Chains A and B, each alone.
Chain A
Amino acid sequence: MTVSHHPRRPLRIAVTLVLALALVACSGYPNTTIGAHSDVGREIDSLTYLLLILGGIVFVFVEGLLVYILIKFRERPGDTTPAQTHGNTTLEVTWTMLPAVILAIIAVPSVRTIFRTQAKAVPNALQVDVVGHQWWWEFRYPQYKVITANELYLPVGRTVNFSLRTDDVIHSFWIPQMSGKRDVVHKDRPNYMWFTPESSFVWNGACAEYCGASHSNMRFKVFTVPPAQFATWIKHQQQGPVFPAAAAAATAADTSKGAAATAAVAAAAPADTATGTWPRDKLPSWTIPETPVPANVTVAATSGDATRGAQLFKTGACIGCHTIQGVSPGIIGPNLTHVGSRTTIAGALYPNDIEHLRLWIKDARAMKPGSIMPPMGKGLPETMGTFTDQQIADLAAYISSLK
C-alpha cells in the first residue's frame, strides 16, 4: 500500500531531472525545442520526455547487452565448438511483445496529443494569417487590418491561431521555443496551427522546409508581449506611416488613406512606449543577426535626407513592390508602413540600421542570394534603379524614419 502512495515518484524524479537538464541547456541555446514556452509546446515536451526516457532505457538495455555479449562470449584459447542453438520460441515471442508494449505506451499519448493539438482553436483566438514568400514572411492580423513582415507580435496568455498560406513554393513555419513546425503549402490549401504563448520574450523563428536559394535566410522574430503592450503595438500599426512627408504624399493618393495618414502624423511619437515595440536596447543578443556583409557590396557613408528620400521613393521603382500606407500600393515585397519600428530587415538577415538599409537598397541580390528585389544602385548589373549613393542614403533615411 505504501507503494501505491507514490506510484509515479520515479517518473516524476526522472522528468524533473530532464527538465533541469533542459534548463541548463536553455541558457546557451536560444532556439532549443526542449522546455517550450506555450501550452502546445509543453504538450509536445511531455511527449518528447517520454520518448527520451523510453528511448534511453532501450538504448542502455540493448547496448549494455551487446557490450556484455562481446566481453563474455569473446573467443578464448581452448574454446570448444559452441552449442549450436537455432532459436528459442519463448525468447523470440518475448522480444516481439516487449517492444509492442513500449510502443503502445508511446502511441496512446501521441494520438491523444494529435487530436488535442489539431482541434479547432478557441473562438476568441487572435487570428494571424501567415504568408510564406521566397524568402520572407508576411504577417497579417485580419481582426485588426494590420499587415507587417518578418516580425510577429503576440500577446501573452491569448491563443493565437495561425492560418498558413503561400503563393510560391512550400515553406515551413517554425518557432522552436513555442511549438512544432507546420508546412506552408499553398494559398488555396491553408494549414492551421495554434498555441498560447506563456511568457514574454523575443524568440527566433525560421523556415524549416528547403525552399530555394535563400532558404537559410528566411528567418523571423517573434515578440510575445503583455496584452496591454500588444494593444498599443497593434493600435500603432493600424495607423499610417509616421513621417511628415507622408501627409503631403497622401494628398496625391486616395483621400480615405490620406486622412488616416494625416491622423497618424498628428499622433506620431516614435518612442517605444507609444509604438508598443520591443525596446531595441533590451533585445537579447541572439536575436540580433550577425550576417557579414558581402565584400563586393559597398556604399558611401553620406548622411541622407528623409524628405528627399520620400520623394525618391514615390517617383522610383519602389512603389511597384512595396506598400507604404497612403503612399504606395505594391504588394510584391514586404509592407514598409512601419518598417522603421522593426529590428531586422531582409528576412531577419541583417539588423535594421541605416548602414544595412543603404547596402540593401543598393544591391539586395548580393546581400541575399536569389532575392527577388533587384539591385537599385546606379551602374550595377541587372539594376532596376539608377540611384546614386547619395540618393540611396536619402531613401534609407526615409525608410528608417517610418517607425
Chain B
Amino acid sequence: MATTVAAPPSRAATLKYEKGIWSWLTTTDHKKIGQLYLYTALAWFLVGGIEALIIRTQLYGPNGRLVSADTYNQLFTMHGTTMIFMAIMPLSAAFFNFLIPLQIGARDVAFPRLNAFSYWIFLCGSLFINASWLIHKAPDGGWFSYAPLSTRTFNPGLNMDFWVIGIQILGVSTLAAGFNFITTIINMRAPGMHFMRMPVFTWAAFVTQFQIILAFPILTVAVVFLLFDRFFGTQFYEPAAGADPLLWQHLFWLFGHPEVYILILPAFGLVSEVLPTFSRKPLFGYPVMVYSLILIAFLGFGVWAHHMFAVGMGPIADSVFSVTTMLIAIPTGVKIFNWLGTMWGGSLRFTTAMLFAIGLVCLFTIGGISGVMHASPPADLQQTDSYFVVAHFHYVLFGGSMMGLFAGVYYYFPKVTGRIMNETLGKWHFWLMFIGMNLTFFPMHFAGLDGMPRRIWSYDANQGWTNDNHVSTIGAYILFVGMLIFVYNMWRSRRSGTRVGNNPWDAPTVEWSTPSPPPPYNYAKIPQITSRYPMWTREGPHSISAAYPVGAPAEAPEPTAEELHIPMPTPTLKPLLASLALTLAFIGLIWHKQVPIIILGLALFAVVLLSWVLTPLEPEH
C-alpha cells in the first residue's frame, strides 16, 4: 500500500521545495506558515511602532508641528489598524499555526493549503492597505472608522477606500484560518488527547477561533455595507437618507469587543504554558482556567455597547451593558488569581519568557482595573475618548497581549529553530520594554483625567498636559530601543544561538517530545496521550536542579517522511496564486472601479481555485 510509491520524486525536485525562497512560497507546512506569520507580523509591529514614535514625537511638546494634522490622522488610524489586524492578530496566528498541531499531537492542520492561503491573503491585504502610504492617502477615519465620517460624503478621498477593502481582505484570511483551526482541534487530536487534557494554549486558541468565526462575519457585513455605500451609492450609513447614525457603531463594536478578547486570549494561553514550566508546578485550577476562557468569550459578545456610553442609548441600555461589563471582570480576575496560585509554592525561574509572563500578570491587572472604571457609565463619560482610555487599552494590549506574545516567542523559539534565544539580551529587552511601557502609558492616565481628549494633533502649553506628554514620549523611545534589541537578538540567535534538544525548558506538554525543530511530519509516531502533562511524571518535572537548556541536541538527522512512509502534502503555489488573483480584483475596485481588472482577477481566482480543488493534497500512491 503506502510502501509502493509510484515514482519517488527526484532528489533535485525535492530539494527545490525544501530549501530557499521557493520552499517558503510553496509550503503547506504549518510550522513554516507559522514562521511566515511570525516574521511578517513582527515587521508590521515595527511599522506600527514607528508610526507610534512619530505620533509621540509630534505630541512631545505643545503645538508640535512635526507632521500635518492630516498626516497625524492617517498615522493614528494606521497605528491602530496595523497593531490590531497586522501585528497582534497575526502574531497570535503564528502561534496557532505552529503550536496547535504540535500540541494536539497531529501532523498538520486539517486543511494545509487553506492555511497557506490564509497567510498569503493576509500578506496581500496588509501590503494593500499600507500601499496607501505611497500616495500619502492612508486611511484617516480612526481604526474604528465611525460612519458617517467614513462615508463618501465626508471622506471622499481614496483613504477610506484602502481601509474598507484592506480590512475585507484581512477578514478573509482570519475567517479561513478560524474554520481551519476549529476543524483541526476537533478532529485531529492524538489518541487520548481528551478536551480536558488539551494544553491551555490550544484551549485558548480553540475558544478564540469560535469568537473569530462569530465576530468577523459581523465586521464583514458592516464593511460590505460601507464598501457598497462608497463604491455603488447605497445609503446604509447616510443619515441624510434616513440611515441610523449609530448603525455602524453597533455593528462595529459587536465585532469590536469580541475582537478585544480575540487579541488577549491567545496571550493568556501562552502565559498559562509558560508559568507552570518555570514555576515547576502544574497550572493551578486547570478546569476553572478553561471555563473562564469560555465564559470570557461568551460574555464578550454581550458588552459591546460599553464603547458607546456617550452616544445616548438611555438609562436602561447603559445599566445593562454596565453590569454585563462588570460581570466579565469576574472570570478575568479568576485567571489572574489562578496564575498567582500557579506560582505560589513553586520554584520560580526568571527566564526571559517567565519575566514576560509575569509582566502580563502585573500589567494586565492595571488595564483590568481601569477597565472596571470604564464599566461605570457616569464615570466613563469623563474617561471615554480621553487619554485615560488610551492608557487603559495599551495596558491591556501592550501590557497584556504583547507581553504574553513575547513570552511565547522566547519560550517557543527553541522549538521553532532548534536554538535558544540569548537570555542576556532577552532580559535587556524585557526591562527596557517593561520600564518603557510604563513610562509611555501610565502618564496617559493623568493626561486623560486632566481632560486631554484622544486623537488630538496638538495642544497648547497652558492646558497642563505637557509634562505627561514629555514622559510618554521618552518612554516610547525606551520601548523602541527594547524592541530593536529583540530584533537583533532574534536575528543573532537564529544564526548562532545555542543548539537545544527536544525539551530545553523541561516543559510538561507533548510538543516538547519532538525534536527541535520538529521534522516536517511532527511526530514519527503519533503520540498516545495519558495525562495533561505527558512530559512530567506524577511527581512533577524531572530535572529540578538542571540549568537551561536541558538535554543535548540530537546527533543524527531525523529520518525523512519518505523513509518513514508518511504521506506529506505536495508543495503548491496555488494558495499564493489564488491570493494574488483575489487581490488583483480588489485593486481593480479601488483603481477607479476598473471592471475589466476586477473580472480578470475574479476569473484568475476561479481558475486557480478550480485547479486547486481538482489536485489532491498528497501525491497519489
Which residues from chain A sit less than 8 Å from chain B, CB to CB? 25, 28-34, 43-44, 47-48, 51-52, 55, 58-59, 62-63, 65-66, 69-70, 73-76, 78-88, 91-92, 95-96, 99-100, 103, 106-107, 110-111, 113-115, 117-118, 134, 168-170, 172, 174, 176-177, 179-183, 185-189, 191-192, 204, 206-217, 285-286, 288-292, 369-370
Interface pairs (29), CB distance under 8 Å:
A30-B464, A44-B381, A48-B379, A55-B370, A55-B372, A58-B365, A66-B361, A70-B358, A75-B348, A75-B349, A81-B540, A87-B285, A92-B288, A110-B378, A110-B379, A118-B318, A181-B381, A186-B245, A188-B239, A191-B312, A208-B454, A209-B310, A211-B149, A212-B73, A216-B455, A216-B457, A288-B462, A291-B63, A369-B69
| Contact of B458 with A by CB under 8 A | yes
A88 to B457, CA, bound (A): 51
Known contacts being A66-B361, A73-B348, A114-B319, is A87 close to B284, with CB within 8 Å? yes
Q: Which residue of A lies closest to B155 (CB)?
A: A212
Known contacts being A179-B381, A213-B70, is A106 close to B451, with CB within 8 Å? no
Contact A84–B378 (Cβ < 8 Å): no
A96 to B239, CA, bound (A): 45
B252-260, B382-390, B488-496 - the one binding chain A? B382-390
User: How many whole Å from A72's CB to the nearest CB in chain B?
Assistant: 9
Known contacts being A66-B358, A110-B322, A216-B69, is A82 close to B340, with CB within 8 Å? no
Q: 18 extra interchain contacts, Cβ-Cβ under 8 A, other than A81-B539, A180-B378?
A: A30-B451, A33-B386, A62-B340, A73-B348, A76-B347, A81-B544, A85-B284, A92-B288, A110-B319, A110-B378, A168-B154, A174-B451, A181-B384, A210-B142, A210-B454, A215-B456, A285-B462, A369-B69
Contact B312–A185 (Cβ < 8 Å): yes
Contact A44–B382 (Cβ < 8 Å): yes
Q: Which residue of B lies closest to A119 (CB)?
A: B315
Q: B284 contacts which of A86, A113, A117 (Cβ < 8 Å)?
A: A86
Contact A181–B345 (Cβ < 8 Å): no
Interface set, chain B 310-331, CB cutoff 8 A to A: 310-312, 314-315, 318-319, 322-323, 326-327, 329-330
Contact B314–A118 (Cβ < 8 Å): yes
Chain B residues lying within 8 Å of A106, measured Cβ to Cβ, are: 326, 372, 375-376
Known contacts being A33-B450, A113-B378, is A66 close to B245, with CB within 8 Å? no
Chain B residues lying within 8 Å of A209, measured Cβ to Cβ, are: 146, 310, 385
Chain A residues lying within 8 Å of B553, measured Cβ to Cβ, are: none
User: How many whole Å from B321's CB to the nearest CB in chain A?
Assistant: 10
Q: B282 contacts which of A76, A84, A99, A214 (Cβ < 8 Å)?
A: A84
Known contacts being A110-B378, A185-B311, is A31 close to B281, with CB within 8 Å? no
Chain A residues lying within 8 Å of B588, measured Cβ to Cβ, are: none
Q: Which 4 A-B pairs have the closest CB atoms?
A: A180-B381, A31-B451, A176-B451, A191-B312
Contact B344–A69 (Cβ < 8 Å): yes
Interface set, chain B 575-611, CB cutoff 8 A to A: none
Chain A residues lying within 8 Å of B362, measured Cβ to Cβ, are: 63, 66
Contact A32–B450 (Cβ < 8 Å): yes
A84 to B279, CA, bound (A): 10
Known contacts being A111-B322, A182-B381, A291-B460, is A81 close to B455, with CB within 8 Å? no
Q: Which residue of B lies closest to A285 (CB)?
A: B462
Contact A183–B312 (Cβ < 8 Å): yes
Contact A103–B326 (Cβ < 8 Å): yes
Number of A-B contacts (CB under 8 A): 300
Chain A residues lying within 8 Å of B314, measured Cβ to Cβ, are: 118
Known contacts being A81-B544, A206-B453, A210-B454, is A114 close to B378, with CB within 8 Å? yes
Contact A51–B379 (Cβ < 8 Å): yes
| Contact of B420 with A by CB under 8 A | no
A187 to B239, CA, bound (A): 9
Q: Which residue of A lies closest to B145 (CB)?
A: A210
A210 to B349, CA, bound (A): 46
User: How many whole Å from A34's CB to the nearest CB in chain B?
Assistant: 6
Chain B residues lying within 8 Å of A289, measured Cβ to Cβ, are: 460
Contact B385–A208 (Cβ < 8 Å): yes
Contact B333–A95 (Cβ < 8 Å): yes
A191 to B381, CA, bound (A): 14
Q: Which residue of B lies closest to A51 (CB)?
A: B373
Chain B residues lying within 8 Å of A210, measured Cβ to Cβ, are: 73, 141-142, 146, 149, 385, 454-455
Q: Which residue of A lies closest to B332 (CB)?
A: A99
Known contacts being A81-B540, A82-B279, A183-B310, is A286 close to B457, with CB within 8 Å? no
User: How many whole Å from B310's CB to the nearest CB in chain A?
Assistant: 5
Known contacts being A106-B326, A170-B245, A180-B381, is A28 close to B345, with CB within 8 Å? no
Contact A87–B377 (Cβ < 8 Å): no
User: How many whole Å from B543's CB to the nearest CB in chain A?
Assistant: 10
A225 to B149, CA, bound (A): 36
User: How many whole Å from B463's CB to the nearest CB in chain A?
Assistant: 6
| Contact of B461 with A by CB under 8 A | yes
Contact B70–A369 (Cβ < 8 Å): yes
Contact B544–A114 (Cβ < 8 Å): no
Contact B376–A74 (Cβ < 8 Å): no
Contact A107–B322 (Cβ < 8 Å): yes
| Contact of B50 with A by CB under 8 A | no
| Contact of B195 with A by CB under 8 A | no
